[in-house]
Amino acid sequence: MRPRILSLFLLMGLTARLCAAQSEARRDSLLRILEQARTDSARVQTLLDIGKLYYTATESRPWIDKAMALSRKTNYALGVANCLANYNYYLYIEGKYDQVLKNCDTAIRLARPLKAHKTLGALYNYIGNVHTAKGEQRLALENYLNALTEVNQAVVPVHFPITIEGNIVKLYIDLREYTKALTYGLRVIERAENVGAINAAGYNCQRVGEIYLVLKQLSKSRYYFQKGLRFARQTQDPYLEASLLSNLADIFSHEGNVPKALDYYDQSLKLARANQNHEIEMWALHGIALEHYWKKEWEPAYDLTQQARQIAEKNQYNEYVTNLYLLLSDIEIGRGRLREGDQWRQKWQDIRTRISNETVLRATQELETQYQTRQKTAQISALRQQQQIQQLSLQRKNLLIAGLAALLVLLGIIGSLYYRNTRNKQRLAEQAHQISEQKIKQLEQEKQLSAAEGILRGQEEERSRLARDLHDGLGGMLSGIKSSLMAMNGNQIIPEAAAQTFERVIDNLETSIQELRRVARNMMPEALVRFGLKDALQDYVDYLNRPGGQQIDYQTFGLSERLPQATEIIVFRIVQELLNNVQKHAGASQTLVQLIRDGERFHLTVEDNGRGFDTANLAQQQGIGWLNIRSRVDYLNGTLEVESAPGKGTAVHVEFMVS
């Protein structure tokens, strides 16, 4: 499923967009106010208010330019900051993220000394939007929270915080935390409708609709998309309207209603082009191309996909361009141009590898930043301890001097004080040495933990990448070859003996495709990434439950919320390895897989009625599978317990605390 979510933009003095007649009346009123304005600051604000009456940059920017020129001429710092914030609205739509960040940095330096909380809130919100677009979720969340802090200190319209909270909803969607996103999204819609913030309600209806679409609840998804579309048309927001038309087209496409889907894609495309929104234009072109692809109308599918690709490359929509490369490859294979299909597939592979490398680099940089922060914290703590020791030593020296002056004739007391002081120094030196050793041990443990975490993450990322490459790359290519062979078989007259050989080739190719998909699913199940541990294990157990083989009973309790992604992957691998051992060695007919979460405590049980074994021999077990299970349990700081005896089956219990 392609992304179809727009971010909300928080402008200074944000107001609802008006219809054409209202906009003209409002503009005339503001022009009269501009003529009568007595101060430069009032003129600047009025010029910005006029600019907000327009949606396109071509119409709005001349008014912002006039406001900026007047602000700079009169050294009105807050006016300059507000103008930069208003420019950001169109720069963000055009995908000029670096310029948005540059404007925000300049504007924050101007607005901070003035304690202009309203302006600062809008600027931090824009920074959050940019980091969200770049996939930097942590930085985005930090800036959205900064934005909330600022607007809560300002007198602002009620929809300001609603707008920011809506962007936090989008962030949770990007992080695939759909339960949290749905909870926040429904709450924001209700609040926005209650205060009349129809535009914000429309954007959040789109987000909630996207969540339900991911969860495959199409009726609820359609309801919120249609509700958002009504709000978009009520507020005359062409960007939101075009995006929602594309969303509804996706719904119709899912349902197989091709004429309806094409009609809505076409409406979205026309509206996006009329308002120069390249991202939505790209979405619509891709959607129309897919409909032609499913009907095997190769030429229009190819031409439309090429148009979408040119937009994606020009505007650096790198995450989305991979979908277009893959579609171009499938189209070329579909019309028998295997070499060209392979070339597009190679481009898809290259950019996927680059994106993967960039993701790893960002994660590495984030880990380095966290490590450096811990080092600085440790250094500050050490300096404070040294300062306390120096102060204590100075106090003792002062006491000694006072004692020597007062009790000069009492040598015994002086000796006693000297002895005590020496002992204190030794004790302090010993304590400092012990603290230093503890810090060294702690740093070594953190280093080992970081290395182990990096190895595990690298393994899982490589598994995930290989699984995608196998399924989408080689799997798609084999499927295309099979389709071509099937078509050839139907169109060519082949001797009976050769036909039987030809059919065996096709059967063997189908077996290879199924085996490749099984390998890809075992390396990184799609359900684990999208829906979490509970659903991924259910799919895996369903796959293993074959008639005549072992029967697996899968039970879960308390897993309504997802675990951290790294923990889910590790637990999945443990269960996968244990079930693999049951299949290979136990000879069991019944197996129980049970997952229980009680608060922060997590308990896993895998039990079978197989032949069992003597647990006394477990310590000498050097198999790779068992060593992997032990290392993963150790990484979770958990406990591993095995109960088994010959002829009595086996039960493996794993327990750990969810961090």
Q: b/e string for 412-430 if b means 16 or more Cβ within 10 A?
A: eeeeebeeeeeeeeeeeee
Query: Is 3 within a domain?
Result: yes
**What letter represents residue 417's amino acid?**
L
- Number of domains composing the chain: 2
pLDDT digits (tens, 9 = 90+) for 208-239: 999 999 999 999 999 999 999 999 999 999 99
3-state secondary structure of 549: coil
CB atoms near residue 230 (< 10 Å): 15
Inform me whether the pLDDT recorded for 620 exceeds 80: no
DSSP structural state of residue 525: -
Establish if 89 belongs to a structural domain: no
Q: What is the pLDDT of residue 229?
A: 94
Give me the phi and psi of 550, to 5 degrees please.
Answer: -70, 150
198: pLDDT strictly greater than 70? yes
Element (H, E) at 85: helix 77-93
The CATH number that applies at residue 604 is 3.30.565.10
Q: Does residue 255 belong to any structural domain of this protein?
A: no
Do the beta carbons of residue 650 and residue 581 sit within 8 Å? Answer: no
Is there a domain that residue 314 lies in? no
- Please give the pLDDT value at position 165: 85
pTM for this prediction: 0.45
Q: What pLDDT score was predicted for residue 81?
A: 93
Domain that holds residue 652: 533-657
Residue 484 falls within a domain, yes or no?
no
Separation of alpha carbons 143 and 152, rounded Å: 14
Report yes or no on 595 lying in a domain. yes
pLDDT at 369: 43
Predicted local distance difference test score (pLDDT) of residue 524: 57
Report the percent of the chain where pLDDT is more than 70.
79
CA distance 583 to 339: 42
Please write the tens of the pLDDT for every residue from 163-187.
888 888 888 887 888 998 898 899 8
To the nearest whole number, what is the mean pLDDT of the chain? 81
Asked whether residue 17 carries a pLDDT value surpassing 80, the answer given is no
- Measure the CA–CA gap between 47 and 70, rounded to whole angstroms: 10
Task: Write down the residue that tokens 């001429």 correspond to.
Answer: 73
Q: What is the pLDDT of residues 100-109, one digit of tens each?
A: 999 999 999 9
Confidence label for 15 from pLDDT (cuts 50, 70 and 90): very low
Structural domain contains residue 333: no
Q: How far is CA 120 from the centre of its chain?
A: 25
Flag whether pLDDT at 366 surpasses 70.
no
**Is residue 568 a part of any domain in this protein?**
yes
pLDDT in tens, 554-593: 999 988 888 888 888 889 989 988 888 888 888 888 899 9
Q: How confident is the model at residue 18 (pLDDT cuts 50, 70, 90)?
A: very low
Give the pLDDT confidence score for residue 9 in this predicted structure: 44
The per-residue pLDDT for range 490-503, each reduced to its tens digit, is 666 667 666 667 77
| pLDDT, position 499 | 67
